[in-house]
Amino acid sequence: MATLSINNVSKTYHNGHKALTNICLDAADGEFIVIVGPSGCGKTTLLRIISGLEDLTEGEILMDGVKVNDVPPKKREISMVSQNFSLFPNMSLYKNIAFPLIISAEKSQIIKEKVTEVSRLLGLTHLQERKPSQLSGGEKQRTALGRAIIRHPKLFLFDEPLSGLDAGLRQDIRQEIAKIQRYLKTTTIYVTHDQDEAMSLADRVIVMKDGLILQSGKPMTLYSRPNSLFVANFTGKLNTLRGIFSNLDGQLVFFPVEMNNGNEALFKEPSQHLTGVNGLSVNKEVTLAFRPEDLTVRKPLRQGSHISFTALVSSIEYKGYEKIALIKPCIVKHHEINDIYSCILFMRLSQDQYIERESLITVYMYIDRLSIF
Protein backbone atom coordinates (compact mmCIF):
# COMPACT_ATOMS: atom_id res chain seq x y z
CA MET A 1 0.00 0.00 0.00
CA ALA A 2 1.13 3.54 -0.72
CA THR A 3 0.18 7.16 -1.09
CA LEU A 4 0.53 8.72 -4.53
CA SER A 5 1.06 12.40 -5.34
CA ILE A 6 1.01 13.80 -8.86
CA ASN A 7 2.21 17.39 -8.86
CA ASN A 8 1.75 19.66 -11.91
CA VAL A 9 2.47 16.89 -14.40
CA SER A 10 2.44 17.83 -18.07
CA LYS A 11 3.25 15.79 -21.15
CA THR A 12 4.09 17.26 -24.55
CA TYR A 13 5.11 15.02 -27.44
CA HIS A 14 7.80 15.83 -30.03
CA ASN A 15 5.16 16.85 -32.57
CA GLY A 16 3.90 19.53 -30.17
CA HIS A 17 0.76 17.70 -29.07
CA LYS A 18 0.06 18.39 -25.39
CA ALA A 19 -1.43 15.24 -23.87
CA LEU A 20 -1.51 16.44 -20.24
CA THR A 21 -1.55 19.92 -18.70
CA ASN A 22 -0.69 20.61 -15.04
CA ILE A 23 -2.28 17.46 -13.61
CA CYS A 24 -2.47 17.46 -9.81
CA LEU A 25 -3.77 14.44 -7.93
CA ASP A 26 -3.28 12.93 -4.47
CA ALA A 27 -4.34 9.35 -3.74
CA ALA A 28 -4.63 8.31 -0.11
CA ASP A 29 -3.34 4.96 1.14
CA GLY A 30 -5.81 2.27 0.03
CA GLU A 31 -7.98 4.67 -2.00
CA PHE A 32 -9.71 3.48 -5.19
CA ILE A 33 -9.65 6.28 -7.78
CA VAL A 34 -11.31 5.93 -11.18
CA ILE A 35 -10.32 8.27 -13.99
CA VAL A 36 -13.00 8.58 -16.66
CA GLY A 37 -13.09 10.48 -19.92
CA PRO A 38 -13.39 10.11 -23.69
CA SER A 39 -10.74 8.55 -25.91
CA GLY A 40 -7.74 10.84 -26.28
CA CYS A 41 -8.33 12.79 -23.06
CA GLY A 42 -4.94 11.71 -21.59
CA LYS A 43 -6.05 9.18 -18.99
CA THR A 44 -3.94 6.28 -20.34
CA THR A 45 -0.96 8.60 -20.83
CA LEU A 46 -1.23 9.58 -17.17
CA LEU A 47 -1.33 5.91 -16.17
CA ARG A 48 1.78 5.15 -18.23
CA ILE A 49 3.61 8.07 -16.64
CA ILE A 50 2.72 6.83 -13.15
CA SER A 51 4.01 3.36 -14.05
CA GLY A 52 7.25 4.72 -15.51
CA LEU A 53 6.54 3.43 -19.02
CA GLU A 54 6.45 6.97 -20.34
CA ASP A 55 8.44 10.05 -19.38
CA LEU A 56 6.77 13.25 -18.23
CA THR A 57 7.69 16.67 -19.59
CA GLU A 58 7.12 18.66 -16.40
CA GLY A 59 6.14 17.96 -12.80
CA GLU A 60 6.81 15.13 -10.39
CA ILE A 61 5.43 11.78 -9.22
CA LEU A 62 5.81 10.82 -5.55
CA MET A 63 5.07 7.47 -3.90
CA ASP A 64 4.98 7.55 -0.10
CA GLY A 65 6.51 11.02 -0.36
CA VAL A 66 9.51 9.84 -2.42
CA LYS A 67 10.05 11.26 -5.91
CA VAL A 68 10.07 8.45 -8.50
CA ASN A 69 10.43 10.38 -11.78
CA ASP A 70 13.72 8.64 -12.56
CA VAL A 71 12.95 5.27 -10.95
CA PRO A 72 12.60 2.51 -13.60
CA PRO A 73 9.21 0.74 -13.86
CA LYS A 74 10.40 -2.56 -12.36
CA LYS A 75 11.54 -0.80 -9.18
CA ARG A 76 8.34 1.20 -8.56
CA GLU A 77 6.47 -1.75 -7.00
CA ILE A 78 3.50 -1.18 -9.31
CA SER A 79 1.32 -3.78 -11.03
CA MET A 80 -0.62 -2.90 -14.16
CA VAL A 81 -3.56 -4.69 -15.80
CA SER A 82 -4.78 -3.80 -19.29
CA GLN A 83 -7.56 -4.95 -21.61
CA ASN A 84 -5.16 -7.16 -23.60
CA PHE A 85 -4.51 -9.73 -20.81
CA SER A 86 -0.87 -10.11 -22.03
CA LEU A 87 -0.70 -13.79 -21.03
CA PHE A 88 2.07 -16.11 -22.21
CA PRO A 89 0.32 -18.57 -24.59
CA ASN A 90 2.80 -21.40 -23.97
CA MET A 91 2.49 -21.24 -20.16
CA SER A 92 -0.16 -22.73 -17.93
CA LEU A 93 -2.42 -20.52 -15.83
CA TYR A 94 -0.29 -21.45 -12.82
CA LYS A 95 2.93 -20.26 -14.47
CA ASN A 96 1.31 -17.09 -15.84
CA ILE A 97 0.25 -16.07 -12.34
CA ALA A 98 3.60 -17.12 -10.85
CA PHE A 99 5.71 -15.38 -13.52
CA PRO A 100 6.61 -12.21 -11.52
CA LEU A 101 7.86 -14.40 -8.66
CA ILE A 102 9.72 -16.80 -11.00
CA ILE A 103 11.75 -13.99 -12.60
CA SER A 104 12.46 -12.65 -9.10
CA ALA A 105 14.02 -16.03 -8.22
CA GLU A 106 11.55 -16.60 -5.39
CA LYS A 107 11.67 -20.00 -3.66
CA SER A 108 9.42 -22.61 -5.29
CA GLN A 109 7.55 -23.36 -2.07
CA ILE A 110 6.71 -19.69 -1.54
CA ILE A 111 5.61 -19.43 -5.19
CA LYS A 112 3.31 -22.43 -4.76
CA GLU A 113 1.76 -21.01 -1.59
CA LYS A 114 1.16 -17.61 -3.15
CA VAL A 115 -0.27 -18.96 -6.42
CA THR A 116 -2.56 -21.25 -4.41
CA GLU A 117 -3.77 -18.28 -2.34
CA VAL A 118 -4.34 -16.04 -5.38
CA SER A 119 -6.05 -18.82 -7.36
CA ARG A 120 -8.41 -19.46 -4.48
CA LEU A 121 -9.19 -15.76 -4.14
CA LEU A 122 -10.04 -15.51 -7.85
CA GLY A 123 -11.81 -18.85 -8.22
CA LEU A 124 -9.13 -20.27 -10.54
CA THR A 125 -7.89 -23.25 -8.51
CA HIS A 126 -9.42 -25.87 -10.85
CA LEU A 127 -7.90 -24.21 -13.95
CA GLN A 128 -4.23 -24.04 -12.95
CA GLU A 129 -2.97 -26.46 -15.60
CA ARG A 130 -4.86 -24.92 -18.52
CA LYS A 131 -3.21 -22.79 -21.21
CA PRO A 132 -4.67 -19.35 -22.12
CA SER A 133 -6.22 -20.80 -25.30
CA GLN A 134 -8.35 -23.05 -23.08
CA LEU A 135 -9.68 -20.16 -20.98
CA SER A 136 -12.70 -17.91 -21.45
CA GLY A 137 -12.34 -14.12 -21.64
CA GLY A 138 -13.30 -13.75 -17.98
CA GLU A 139 -10.86 -16.46 -16.89
CA LYS A 140 -8.07 -14.78 -18.86
CA GLN A 141 -8.78 -11.46 -17.22
CA ARG A 142 -8.84 -13.02 -13.74
CA THR A 143 -5.49 -14.68 -14.56
CA ALA A 144 -4.02 -11.30 -15.54
CA LEU A 145 -5.43 -9.89 -12.31
CA GLY A 146 -3.85 -12.76 -10.34
CA ARG A 147 -0.46 -12.07 -11.87
CA ALA A 148 -0.80 -8.42 -10.87
CA ILE A 149 -1.67 -9.03 -7.22
CA ILE A 150 0.71 -11.91 -6.48
CA ARG A 151 3.59 -9.48 -5.92
CA HIS A 152 1.58 -7.50 -3.36
CA PRO A 153 2.47 -4.22 -5.10
CA LYS A 154 2.17 -0.81 -3.49
CA LEU A 155 -0.02 0.43 -6.32
CA PHE A 156 -2.50 -1.11 -8.79
CA LEU A 157 -3.00 0.46 -12.20
CA PHE A 158 -5.90 -0.67 -14.40
CA ASP A 159 -6.10 0.50 -18.03
CA GLU A 160 -9.64 -0.22 -19.27
CA PRO A 161 -9.33 -3.88 -18.21
CA LEU A 162 -12.94 -4.81 -19.02
CA SER A 163 -13.48 -3.13 -22.39
CA GLY A 164 -12.97 -6.37 -24.34
CA LEU A 165 -15.58 -8.34 -22.38
CA ASP A 166 -19.33 -8.63 -22.90
CA ALA A 167 -21.72 -6.75 -20.61
CA GLY A 168 -22.55 -9.61 -18.23
CA LEU A 169 -18.91 -10.62 -17.84
CA ARG A 170 -17.86 -7.00 -17.27
CA GLN A 171 -20.18 -6.80 -14.30
CA ASP A 172 -18.84 -10.07 -12.83
CA ILE A 173 -15.17 -9.06 -13.18
CA ARG A 174 -15.97 -5.57 -11.89
CA GLN A 175 -17.29 -7.15 -8.70
CA GLU A 176 -14.14 -9.31 -8.47
CA ILE A 177 -11.88 -6.26 -8.77
CA ALA A 178 -13.84 -4.38 -6.10
CA LYS A 179 -13.74 -7.38 -3.74
CA ILE A 180 -9.99 -7.90 -4.17
CA GLN A 181 -9.19 -4.20 -3.77
CA ARG A 182 -11.16 -4.06 -0.51
CA TYR A 183 -9.48 -7.26 0.69
CA LEU A 184 -5.92 -6.15 -0.14
CA LYS A 185 -6.48 -2.43 0.61
CA THR A 186 -4.08 -1.54 -2.21
CA THR A 187 -4.09 2.00 -3.58
CA THR A 188 -5.66 1.77 -7.03
CA ILE A 189 -5.86 4.02 -10.10
CA TYR A 190 -8.39 2.69 -12.61
CA VAL A 191 -8.92 4.16 -16.08
CA THR A 192 -12.13 3.68 -18.05
CA HIS A 193 -14.53 5.41 -20.42
CA ASP A 194 -17.47 3.48 -18.92
CA GLN A 195 -19.51 5.62 -16.50
CA ASP A 196 -21.07 2.55 -14.83
CA GLU A 197 -17.62 1.22 -13.93
CA ALA A 198 -16.56 4.60 -12.62
CA MET A 199 -19.64 5.18 -10.47
CA SER A 200 -19.82 1.65 -9.03
CA LEU A 201 -16.11 1.06 -8.26
CA ALA A 202 -14.66 4.35 -7.13
CA ASP A 203 -14.08 5.97 -3.79
CA ARG A 204 -13.39 9.03 -5.92
CA VAL A 205 -14.06 9.77 -9.59
CA ILE A 206 -11.92 12.08 -11.73
CA VAL A 207 -13.30 13.34 -15.04
CA MET A 208 -10.75 14.31 -17.69
CA LYS A 209 -11.02 16.08 -21.04
CA ASP A 210 -8.30 17.31 -23.41
CA GLY A 211 -5.50 16.58 -20.93
CA LEU A 212 -7.16 18.44 -18.07
CA ILE A 213 -8.95 17.37 -14.88
CA LEU A 214 -12.42 18.93 -14.99
CA GLN A 215 -13.78 17.67 -11.66
CA SER A 216 -12.80 15.31 -8.86
CA GLY A 217 -15.02 14.01 -6.07
CA LYS A 218 -17.15 11.22 -4.68
CA PRO A 219 -19.32 9.49 -7.31
CA MET A 220 -22.62 10.88 -5.97
CA THR A 221 -21.18 14.41 -5.74
CA LEU A 222 -20.27 14.38 -9.43
CA TYR A 223 -23.61 12.79 -10.28
CA SER A 224 -25.78 15.23 -8.34
CA ARG A 225 -23.60 18.37 -8.47
CA PRO A 226 -21.52 18.36 -11.69
CA ASN A 227 -19.57 21.54 -12.34
CA SER A 228 -20.09 21.44 -16.12
CA LEU A 229 -22.38 19.99 -18.74
CA PHE A 230 -19.56 17.72 -19.89
CA VAL A 231 -19.16 16.20 -16.41
CA ALA A 232 -22.93 15.84 -16.07
CA ASN A 233 -23.10 13.91 -19.34
CA PHE A 234 -20.18 11.68 -18.36
CA THR A 235 -21.55 10.60 -14.99
CA GLY A 236 -24.98 9.27 -15.95
CA LYS A 237 -28.02 9.60 -18.18
CA LEU A 238 -28.88 13.26 -18.53
CA ASN A 239 -31.78 15.40 -19.70
CA THR A 240 -31.21 18.92 -21.02
CA LEU A 241 -33.53 21.81 -21.85
CA ARG A 242 -32.08 24.83 -23.62
CA GLY A 243 -33.86 28.13 -23.19
CA ILE A 244 -34.00 31.66 -21.80
CA PHE A 245 -35.34 32.88 -18.45
CA SER A 246 -37.18 36.19 -18.39
CA ASN A 247 -38.29 38.04 -15.26
CA LEU A 248 -41.89 39.16 -15.62
CA ASP A 249 -43.61 40.73 -12.61
CA GLY A 250 -41.67 38.65 -10.06
CA GLN A 251 -42.10 35.45 -12.07
CA LEU A 252 -39.21 33.66 -13.80
CA VAL A 253 -40.58 32.51 -17.15
CA PHE A 254 -38.72 29.88 -19.18
CA PHE A 255 -38.84 30.04 -22.98
CA PRO A 256 -37.29 26.93 -24.62
CA VAL A 257 -35.24 27.63 -27.75
CA GLU A 258 -35.94 24.24 -29.29
CA MET A 259 -39.67 24.71 -29.63
CA ASN A 260 -40.97 25.21 -33.15
CA ASN A 261 -42.28 28.71 -32.35
CA GLY A 262 -39.97 29.62 -29.45
CA ASN A 263 -42.20 32.42 -28.17
CA GLU A 264 -44.30 30.41 -25.71
CA ALA A 265 -43.32 29.82 -22.09
CA LEU A 266 -42.91 26.20 -20.98
CA PHE A 267 -43.24 27.10 -17.30
CA LYS A 268 -43.14 30.03 -14.91
CA GLU A 269 -42.23 30.08 -11.24
CA PRO A 270 -41.96 32.75 -8.53
CA SER A 271 -38.39 34.03 -8.70
CA GLN A 272 -37.71 33.33 -5.01
CA HIS A 273 -38.18 29.60 -5.64
CA LEU A 274 -35.23 29.55 -8.09
CA THR A 275 -32.80 32.03 -6.54
CA GLY A 276 -30.73 29.27 -4.88
CA VAL A 277 -30.06 27.40 -8.13
CA ASN A 278 -26.42 27.76 -9.26
CA GLY A 279 -25.94 29.13 -12.77
CA LEU A 280 -29.32 30.87 -12.95
CA SER A 281 -29.13 33.77 -15.38
CA VAL A 282 -31.84 35.99 -16.86
CA ASN A 283 -32.16 37.10 -20.50
CA LYS A 284 -29.43 34.82 -21.82
CA GLU A 285 -29.50 31.28 -23.15
CA VAL A 286 -28.88 28.59 -20.53
CA THR A 287 -29.11 24.79 -20.37
CA LEU A 288 -31.16 23.11 -17.66
CA ALA A 289 -29.65 19.72 -16.75
CA PHE A 290 -31.40 17.05 -14.69
CA ARG A 291 -31.59 13.27 -14.32
CA PRO A 292 -34.48 10.96 -15.30
CA GLU A 293 -35.28 10.37 -11.62
CA ASP A 294 -35.58 14.14 -11.06
CA LEU A 295 -38.89 14.08 -12.93
CA THR A 296 -42.11 12.65 -11.56
CA VAL A 297 -45.82 12.45 -12.39
CA ARG A 298 -46.71 12.66 -8.70
CA LYS A 299 -47.07 16.21 -7.44
CA PRO A 300 -44.60 16.87 -4.61
CA LEU A 301 -46.23 17.89 -1.34
CA ARG A 302 -43.94 20.82 -0.51
CA GLN A 303 -44.95 24.12 -2.06
CA GLY A 304 -42.21 25.75 -4.14
CA SER A 305 -40.10 22.59 -4.36
CA HIS A 306 -40.85 21.88 -8.00
CA ILE A 307 -41.45 23.16 -11.51
CA SER A 308 -44.29 21.72 -13.57
CA PHE A 309 -44.88 21.53 -17.31
CA THR A 310 -46.99 19.57 -19.78
CA ALA A 311 -45.47 16.78 -21.86
CA LEU A 312 -46.50 14.30 -24.51
CA VAL A 313 -45.61 10.64 -23.81
CA SER A 314 -43.83 9.40 -26.92
CA SER A 315 -43.11 5.87 -25.71
CA ILE A 316 -42.27 3.78 -22.65
CA GLU A 317 -39.27 1.48 -22.31
CA TYR A 318 -39.64 -1.54 -20.01
CA LYS A 319 -36.30 -2.88 -18.76
CA GLY A 320 -37.48 -5.27 -16.07
CA TYR A 321 -35.81 -3.46 -13.19
CA GLU A 322 -37.08 -0.03 -14.32
CA LYS A 323 -39.51 1.80 -16.58
CA ILE A 324 -38.44 4.82 -18.59
CA ALA A 325 -40.95 7.17 -20.18
CA LEU A 326 -39.75 9.11 -23.23
CA ILE A 327 -41.52 12.47 -23.19
CA LYS A 328 -41.61 15.73 -25.16
CA PRO A 329 -42.43 18.98 -23.34
CA CYS A 330 -45.18 20.85 -25.10
CA ILE A 331 -47.43 23.90 -24.99
CA VAL A 332 -51.15 23.10 -24.83
CA LYS A 333 -53.91 25.57 -25.62
CA HIS A 334 -57.60 24.73 -25.61
CA HIS A 335 -56.76 21.05 -25.01
CA GLU A 336 -54.62 20.87 -28.15
CA ILE A 337 -50.84 20.86 -28.63
CA ASN A 338 -49.80 24.31 -29.83
CA ASP A 339 -46.03 23.72 -29.79
CA ILE A 340 -43.73 20.81 -28.95
CA TYR A 341 -40.10 20.47 -27.88
CA SER A 342 -37.87 18.89 -30.54
CA CYS A 343 -35.86 16.68 -28.17
CA ILE A 344 -36.78 13.70 -26.02
CA LEU A 345 -36.55 13.75 -22.22
CA PHE A 346 -36.28 10.61 -20.10
CA MET A 347 -38.36 10.12 -16.94
CA ARG A 348 -37.89 7.15 -14.62
CA LEU A 349 -41.16 5.61 -13.41
CA SER A 350 -41.72 3.35 -10.42
CA GLN A 351 -43.22 -0.07 -11.12
CA ASP A 352 -46.63 1.01 -9.79
CA GLN A 353 -46.84 4.09 -12.02
CA TYR A 354 -48.77 3.74 -15.26
CA ILE A 355 -49.11 6.28 -18.06
CA GLU A 356 -50.33 5.74 -21.60
CA ARG A 357 -48.41 6.34 -24.80
CA GLU A 358 -49.47 9.45 -26.74
CA SER A 359 -51.12 10.89 -23.63
CA LEU A 360 -50.61 14.40 -22.25
CA ILE A 361 -49.31 14.45 -18.68
CA THR A 362 -48.20 16.99 -16.08
CA VAL A 363 -44.54 16.50 -15.19
CA TYR A 364 -42.93 17.82 -12.01
CA MET A 365 -39.20 18.63 -11.79
CA TYR A 366 -37.47 18.96 -8.41
CA ILE A 367 -35.82 22.39 -8.18
CA ASP A 368 -33.13 21.35 -5.69
CA ARG A 369 -31.83 18.73 -8.14
CA LEU A 370 -31.60 21.12 -11.05
CA SER A 371 -28.26 22.26 -12.53
CA ILE A 372 -28.01 25.25 -14.89
CA PHE A 373 -25.11 25.80 -17.28
The CATH number linked to 331 is 2.40.50.140
Q: Which domain holds residue 154?
A: 4-234
Residue 1 CA to residue 54 CA, distance in Å, equals: 22
Q: What is the mean pLDDT of the chain?
A: 91
Q: Are residues 272 and 364 in the same domain?
A: yes
Share of the chain above pLDDT 90, in %: 64
- Per residue in 176-211, pLDDT (tens digit) is 889 889 988 999 999 998 888 999 999 999 999 999
Q: Select from 168, 199, 234 the last residue of a domain.
A: 234
Q: Are residues 161 and 284 in the same domain?
A: no
- Per residue in 297-308, pLDDT (tens digit) is 988 877 778 899
Contact yes or no for 142/121 (Cβ under 8 A): no
* Burial class (CB within 10 angstroms; exposed 0-12, middle 13-18, buried 19+) of 46: buried
Q: Are residues 210 and 182 in the same domain?
A: yes
- Per residue in 5-16, pLDDT (tens digit) is 999 999 999 999
Average pLDDT value for residue range 228-246: 93
Average pLDDT value for residue range 201-224: 96
Residue 236 CA to residue 246 CA, distance in Å, equals: 30
Q: Are residues 217 and 315 in the same domain?
A: no
Q: Are residues 53 and 165 in the same domain?
A: yes
Contact yes or no for 246/266 (Cβ under 8 A): no
pLDDT at position 262 over 70: no
Q: Select from 234, 256, 290 the last residue of a domain.
A: 234
Q: Are residues 135 and 16 in the same domain?
A: yes
* Count of the separate structural domains present in the chain: 2
Average pLDDT value for residue range 346-353: 90
- Per residue in 270-293, pLDDT (tens digit) is 888 887 788 888 899 999 999 999
pLDDT at residue 86, as a whole number: 83
> What is the value of pTM for the model shown?
0.88
Q: Are residues 243 and 346 in the same domain?
A: yes
Q: Are residues 92 and 199 in the same domain?
A: yes
pLDDT at residue 307, as a whole number: 92
Report how far apart, in Å, the C-alpha atoms of 89 and of each of 86, 133, 160, 162, 275 are.
Answer: 9, 7, 22, 20, 63
- Per residue in 81-124, pLDDT (tens digit) is 888 878 999 999 999 999 999 988 889 999 999 999 999 988 89
Q: What is the CATH number of the domain that holds 119?
A: 3.40.50.300
Q: Select from 210, 234, 258 the last residue of a domain.
A: 234
pLDDT at residue 165, as a whole number: 78
| HSE-up of residue 188 (Cα within 13 Å, Cβ side) | 28
Q: Are residues 190 and 224 in the same domain?
A: yes
